[in-house]
Structure 1
C-alpha cells in the first residue's frame, strides 16, 4: 500500500508576524525617580490613559548621558501605572546591557521619520521628563477625510491617519478621537479629542457642543481639571493653537 508523505504534517501552532499597538515611553532623564514622579503626575491627569498597554522604553534622548538608569525601579513604576514594559531601544551599549539585565528585550532602532506622508499615527503628550507616545497602527491608507456617523462609547477610539476626522454623533466620556488633521464633531464632544497628532500646528478641533474630557493640538493639551469658560462650555466652539498656547473660542 502506497503512503503519501508529501503533505504537510499537522502542527499545534502557527508562526505569523503581528502588528500590535504599543506605548513608547521616551526617557528625557536618567533619573528613574524623576521619571516615575512624572508618570504619576500624568496618570493623575488622565487615569484612563494606560490600560495594561505593552511598553517600549526609548532611550534615544539620553543615549549620550553618563548617568546610570535604574531599570528595575523604572519597570516597577511603569507596572504600577497599568503598563507592561517589555523592551528597550536607542540606548548606549552600557544602557542596553543594564536594560537586558533587568529582563527587557532589545528592540530595533526606530526608522527615520519622514515628513510626508506619515508612516505611523501617534498621539504625543509631552511632560517634563518623560514623553509618552501611543502608536496606533492602521492597516490601510486613509482617505482625505474619515467620516464616523455612529456614537462613540467609552473605551472606543477612532484615528484618522493623514486625514481630517468628521464625527456626526456624540463622542462619549472615555471615548477618543484622533486625527493628523482637523477634527469636526457635529454633536456633543465629551471624550478626548486630539488633532494634529503628527505635529500639525495648524490643525483645529470643532464641535457644536464642547464638553471635552481632554483636547490637544500638536501635543499641547488641556484637561477638564481647568474648567472651560461659560462662553464655550457646552456650546459651538473651536480649539486652535496660537504659538504654544491652546485657544478655545466660540464659533
Structure 2
C-alpha cells in the first residue's frame, strides 16, 4: 500500500543531533544499602543540588560481580537526590539486560582506559592556552560550560547557577552556586575563588555538597579545591 504524500505540509518537527552533559555515577558496589549510605555521607541531607540532572550509570567496576544490582531501587535512590537516571554502560550482559528492563538505555563503553586518579600533575597542561571568560553575574538557573578549556568568571555566581569546565574554574567573586571542574575526567583541574560559598563542588566526578557548611577557615574566604586521590581538598589561598 502506498504511503500518502505529505505534499507541501509544513514540518511540525525536526530530528537533530544534540549533545548533553551527563553526571556519571561510577558504581563500585552492587549493594544498594552501601550506595545509599555513601550518597548520604557525600551529598548530605539536601536532595536538591542536582536539579534534575541526567545521570549515566557506569557498571564497569562491578561487571564481574555475581551479586545482582537492584536497578529499580537504584533509580529511585538517585531520583530522591533530584538526579534522573537515563542510561547505563559497561555492565555484563545480564546487568545490561536488567538495566534495559528497568527503562534505562544502553550506551557504548567508554573508549580506552578511564583517566588515572593520580595526585601528581603532568608537567604540561595542554589546555592552559584556552580560556573562556565570563564577565557578567550568573543568575539562578543559568549554566556555563567551558568545553575543552578553563573557565574564568569575573562576577558573582549566584545560588542555583552552575559553572562547568573541562579544565579549572577561577571565580574572582563570590562562588555560591555549583562548580564542576575537570568535567571530562581531568584529575589535575582545580577550583579557585575569592569567596568560597558554593552549594556543590566537583572535580573529575568527585562531588561534595556544602551541607553541613564548610570549615570557617575557608568559608567566605579566598580558597581553592583540588583532588587528592578520591578526596576533595578545600584549603585557603595564602596571599
TM-score, normalized by length of structure 1?
0.70
Which residue is 2:136 aligned to? 150
For the residues of structure 2 that align with 1:179 and 1:26, how far apart are their CA atoms? Answer: 20
Aligned-pair distance for 1:46? 5.1
Whether 1:109 aligns to 2:94 is no
* RMSD, aligned α-carbons: 3.4
Judge conservation of contact 1:154–1:173 (CA < 8 Å) in 2. Answer: yes
Once the two structures are superposed, residues 24-75 of structure 1 have per-residue CA deviations (whole angstroms, 9 ceiling, x without a partner) of: 3221111123223333445535533322233332211100111112222222
Shift in Å, 1:204: 3.9
Does the aligned pair in 1 maintain the 2:167–2:182 contact within 8 Å?
yes
Aligned residue for 1:25?
25
Paired with 1:100 and 1:79, the residues of 2 have a C-alpha distance of 17
Q: 1:193 aligned to 2:179?
A: yes
Partner residue in 2 for 1:52: 52
1:142–1:160 CA contact under 8 A, matched in 2: no
Partner of 2:159: 173
Structure number with higher strand proportion:
1
- Secondary structure of 1:65's counterpart equals coil
Separation (CA, whole Å) in 2 of partners of 1:84 and 1:34: 20
1:98 aligned residue: 98
Question: Which ranges of structure 1 fall in alignment gaps of 5 or more residues?
Answer: 1-5, 116-123, 125-140
In structure 2, distance between residues paired with 1:83 and 1:196: 20
- Asked if structure 1 preserves the Cα contact closer than 8 Å seen for 2:171 and 2:192, the reply is yes
Residues 14, 56 of structure 1: CA spacing in aligned structure 2 closer, same or farther, 3 A cutoff?
same
1:227 aligns with 2:222: no
CA distance in 2, matches of 1:241, 1:22: 21
Q: Is 1:211 aligned to 2:182, yes or no?
A: no
Instruction: Give distance in 2, aligned partners of 1:16 and 1:114.
Output: 29
Q: Is the 8 A contact 2:27 2:62 kept in 1?
A: yes
Question: Is 1:163 aligned to residue 145 of structure 2?
Answer: no
Counterparts of 1:43 and 1:242, CA distance in 2: 17
Matched with 2:120 is none
Matched, 1:248 2:231: no
Q: Which residue of 2 aligns with 1:83?
A: 83
Determine the C-alpha separation between the residues in 2 that align with 1:222 and 1:82.
14
- Higher alpha-carbon Rg: 1
In the TM superposition, residue 95 of structure 1 has moved relative to its aligned partner by 1.4
Structure 2 unmatched runs, 5+: 118-126
State the shift of 1:147 in Å. 0.6
What is aligned with 1:73?
73
* Count of aligned pairs: 219
